[in-house]
């Protein structure tokens, strides 16, 4: 197993096993606290040579806030670019529109080693809409803007060098399930 994979899995394990239970305990008195998983697909509008598949664990802290631990794989060309991080999601009306911001995000390549075994810092902002159905199931559509401030311009250029069709603007569709949902006390 490569160094990047070990770092990736160690970070993923740490975030899941430590952060989420702590945050669940902090949100113990909130009726909306829940944990969920989702699976998604993203692509640019032209549907070029790459495809992004993602999954996420999410912890709904309150009516308005959630933490999300996404794991994405961008497949195209000779390798696979993986990224993960911790996202803060804000739902101003409990459901419907949302804004998602990366608190920490990093990525690495699996395959051809064009990126020289580097772990690359990333960031993104998402704007979207959530539809809830069948009690615990949900669907989301969002527009993802990677590196909106231009902070990691050099890193994104390096990724585009290895994955020519990698874009900073994506449309993402997600379906998911909330489990361990607390019932309303109303």
For 78-96, the pLDDT digits (tens) are 678 888 899 999 999 888 9
| Rounded Cα distance, 106 and 100, in Å | 16
CATH code of residue 117: 2.40.160.20
Confidence of residue 186 (pLDDT cuts 50, 70, 90): very low
For 10-51, the pLDDT digits (tens) are 666 666 665 556 555 555 554 556 677 777 766 555 556 677
| Residue 12 within a domain | yes
| Rounded Cα distance, 14 and 6, in Å | 12
| Residue 184 within a domain | no
Contact (Cβ atoms closer than 8 angstroms) between residue 98 and residue 91: yes
Residue 102 pLDDT: 93
Question: Which residues, other chains included, contact 3 with Cβ-Cβ below 8 Å and sequence gap of 6+?
Answer: 117
Residue 3 pLDDT: 61
| Residue 186 within a domain | no
Residue 74 pLDDT: 82
Strand partners, 86: 104
CB atoms within 10 A of CB 95: 13
* DSSP symbols for 4-34: HHHHHHHHHHHIIIIIHHHHHHHTTT-TT-E
Give me the mean pLDDT over the 152-158 stretch.
86
For 95-136, the pLDDT digits (tens) are 899 999 999 898 888 876 677 767 888 899 999 999 988 878
* DSSP symbols for 101-116: EEEEEEEEEESS-TTT
Range of the domain at 11: 3-179
pLDDT at 77 over 70: no
pLDDT at 8 over 80: no
Give me the mean pLDDT over the 64-73 stretch.
89
| Residue 16 within a domain | yes
Contact (Cβ atoms closer than 8 angstroms) between residue 103 and residue 85: yes
| Rounded Cα distance, 107 and 170, in Å | 17
Residue 4 pLDDT: 59
| Rounded Cα distance, 51 and 2, in Å | 23
| Residue 114 within a domain | yes
**Count of structural domains within the chain:** 1
Residue 185 pLDDT: 45
> How many Å separate Cα 136 from the centre of its chain?
20
Residue 96 pLDDT: 92
pLDDT at 148 over 70: yes
| Residue 38 within a domain | yes
- Rounded to 5°, the CA angle 42-46-47 comes to 45
């Amino acid at each position: 197993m490569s160094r990047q994979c070990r770092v990736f899995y160690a970070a993923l394990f740490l975030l899941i096993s430590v952060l989420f239970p702590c945050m669940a305990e902090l949100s113990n008195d909130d009726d909306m606290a829940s944990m969920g998983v989702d699976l998604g697909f993203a692509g640019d509008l032209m549907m070029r040579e790459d495809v992004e598949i993602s999954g996420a664990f999410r912890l709904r802290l309150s009516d308005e806030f959630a933490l999300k631990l996404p794991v994405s794989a961008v497949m195209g060309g000779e390798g696979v670019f993986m990224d993960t991080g911790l996202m803060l999601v804000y739902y101003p009306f409990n459901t419907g529109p949302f804004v998602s911001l990366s608190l920490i995000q990093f990525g690495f390549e699996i395959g051809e080693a064009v990126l020289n075994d580097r772990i690359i810092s990333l960031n993104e902002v998402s704007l979207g809409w959530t539809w809830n159905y069948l009690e615990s199931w949900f669907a989301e559509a969002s527009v993802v803007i990677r590196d909106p401030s231009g902070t990691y311009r050099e890193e994104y250029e390096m990724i585009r060098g290895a994955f020519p069709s990698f874009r900073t603007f994506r449309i993402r569709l997600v379906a998911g399930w909330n489990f361990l949902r607390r019932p309303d006390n109303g």
